[in-house]
Structure 1
């Protein structure tokens, strides 16, 4: 879906803040961010919701709230919404806990507890190694490396992983990654359904037009896209007849 998070290729948002270009930036700028990352990972690992549900929850944020909050505040919004919607912890219970708990301080870089617990060791393994998203399938892929494709014009309110600026753009399949779980089915039905995944190459001219293409610095853009986002490119150009 297209929402406040889908800003690729849009004008008027201003330059990237200089501090975020610094490669030495810490992983977490504020102490609560590390806790938010861990809380989200633990909720996913223990089956409260899945990663695609969490991403879709962020997409549902009101635009003004999204643009006026930082990255891990987006996570907080989604996690609280999911826990409330699933009947695990209500908004009212969270508000009451905030109202009644004593003021505290989050340690920025806490030491790893000694001895560690089995649950902690499991979470560390998940955080450092990740989890696989590939899914076996006997269905062959529609496209092969080198195939010319065009991205479908998709505008839906359900979850997908298609950047809006790629709608209708022609490209070339650069690599097939096999089948991975479909993000929409995962987000909305909590099921793993195989969906072929490709890396697609797009030329700057096709993306941004001749004015941008004429600027110094030629490049191609690569995007990982699922099969249902793609169609075979027509062999004719606009204005021609087959």
Structure 2
């Protein structure tokens, strides 16, 4: 699905700032707690299915995604996963905040959890598959014209673009299905190089961008 999270190559947001040497991992104490809570949520709900968590991030409303900051997005995504799995009732977090603020609000009862029936076939995300890679280094490819309803790791700015395979990577669990608990469906992954002019037109600063892309995103250029 196309979402505010797919910001790669989008103009108008200014330059990305570089990390400052020696800066703390969390700017505020609450950010560290948000990190820990999200990791625990993933463990309880999805068996540490990172793709499911990323899909939750992608489904946040644009204003919430931009206004709440990096770890605010993590908290909102963790809440979304907990509500969808019926660990929390809708509105439970807001009700608890109002109760703690002294308001006379009835908190919703805890529902019966519906944890996804999920079990990874192996640790991590790398997999071994029997089929040989369909593409080779040096092949010219064109990326798919995807309009997915669910998750996808093919960025919008790379769709319908021509590039060249520069490396073959290990097979990897496919986030498009893994993120919605529809199977791991591992695929070969290729590093593909794109000229900047192919992506942003003839006036773009000349450079070459490389992206790791799944086999189903690519077709041999004819």
| Length-normalised TM-score, structure 2 | 0.82
**Secondary structure at 1:189 match in 2:** coil
CA deviations on 1:67-118 (whole Å, 9 max, x unpaired) are 2220111111111011011111223332343334489xxxxxxxxxxxxxxx
> Of residues 210, 215, 220 in structure 1, which corresponds to 2:208?
220
CA contact (8 A) 2:26 2:32 kept: yes
**Secondary structure at 2:24 match in 1:** coil
Could you tell which deviates more after superposition, 184-193 or 135-144?
184-193
| Length-normalised TM-score, structure 1 | 0.75
CA contact (8 A) 1:53 1:187 kept: yes
Q: What is the alpha-carbon distance in structure 2 between the residues aligned to residue 94 and residue 21 of structure 1? A: 33
> Of residues 115, 129, 133 in structure 1, which corresponds to 2:125?
133
Q: What is the alpha-carbon distance in structure 2 between the residues aligned to residue 173 and residue 26 of structure 1? A: 38
Q: What is the alpha-carbon distance in structure 1 between the residues aligned to residue 195 and residue 21 of structure 2? A: 28
CA contact (8 A) 1:135 1:193 kept: no
CA contact (8 A) 2:165 2:190 kept: yes
Q: What is the alpha-carbon distance in structure 1 between the residues aligned to residue 149 and residue 127 of structure 2? A: 25
Instruction: Give 1:117's aligned residue.
Output: none
CA separation of 1:92 and 1:67: change in aligned 2, threshold 3 A = closer
Please report how far the alpha carbon of residue 171 of structure 1 lies from its aligned counterpart in structure 2 after TM superposition: 0.7
Instruction: Give 2:13's aligned residue.
Output: 13
Q: What is the alpha-carbon distance in structure 2 between the residues aligned to residue 192 and residue 185 of structure 1? A: 6
Instruction: Give 1:93's aligned residue.
Output: 92
Root mean square deviation of aligned Cα:
2.1
Q: What is the alpha-carbon distance in structure 2 between the residues aligned to residue 136 and residue 83 of structure 1? A: 32
Q: What is the alpha-carbon distance in structure 1 between the residues aligned to residue 156 and residue 63 of structure 2? A: 19
Please report how far the alpha carbon of residue 230 of structure 1 lies from its aligned counterpart in structure 2 after TM superposition: 0.6
> Of residues 122, 140, 144 in structure 2, which corresponds to 1:152?
144
> Rg bigger for which structure?
1
Please report how far the alpha carbon of residue 31 of structure 1 lies from its aligned counterpart in structure 2 after TM superposition: 1.3
CA contact (8 A) 1:151 1:229 kept: yes
CA contact (8 A) 2:133 2:188 kept: yes
Gaps of 5+ in 1: 104-130, 235-242
Gaps of 5+ in 2: 103-122
CA deviations on 1:33-58 (whole Å, 9 max, x unpaired) are 11111122222234445211111111
> Of residues 166, 170, 181 in structure 2, which corresponds to 1:174?
166
Please report how far the alpha carbon of residue 14 of structure 1 lies from its aligned counterpart in structure 2 after TM superposition: 3.3
Q: What is the alpha-carbon distance in structure 1 between the residues aligned to residue 60 and residue 137 of structure 2? A: 37
Instruction: Give 1:82's aligned residue.
Output: 81
Please report how far the alpha carbon of residue 168 of structure 1 lies from its aligned counterpart in structure 2 after TM superposition: 0.9
Q: Does residue 63 of the first structure (1) align with residue 55 of the second (2)?
A: no
Please report how far the alpha carbon of residue 163 of structure 1 lies from its aligned counterpart in structure 2 after TM superposition: 1.1
Instruction: Give 2:188's aligned residue.
Output: 196
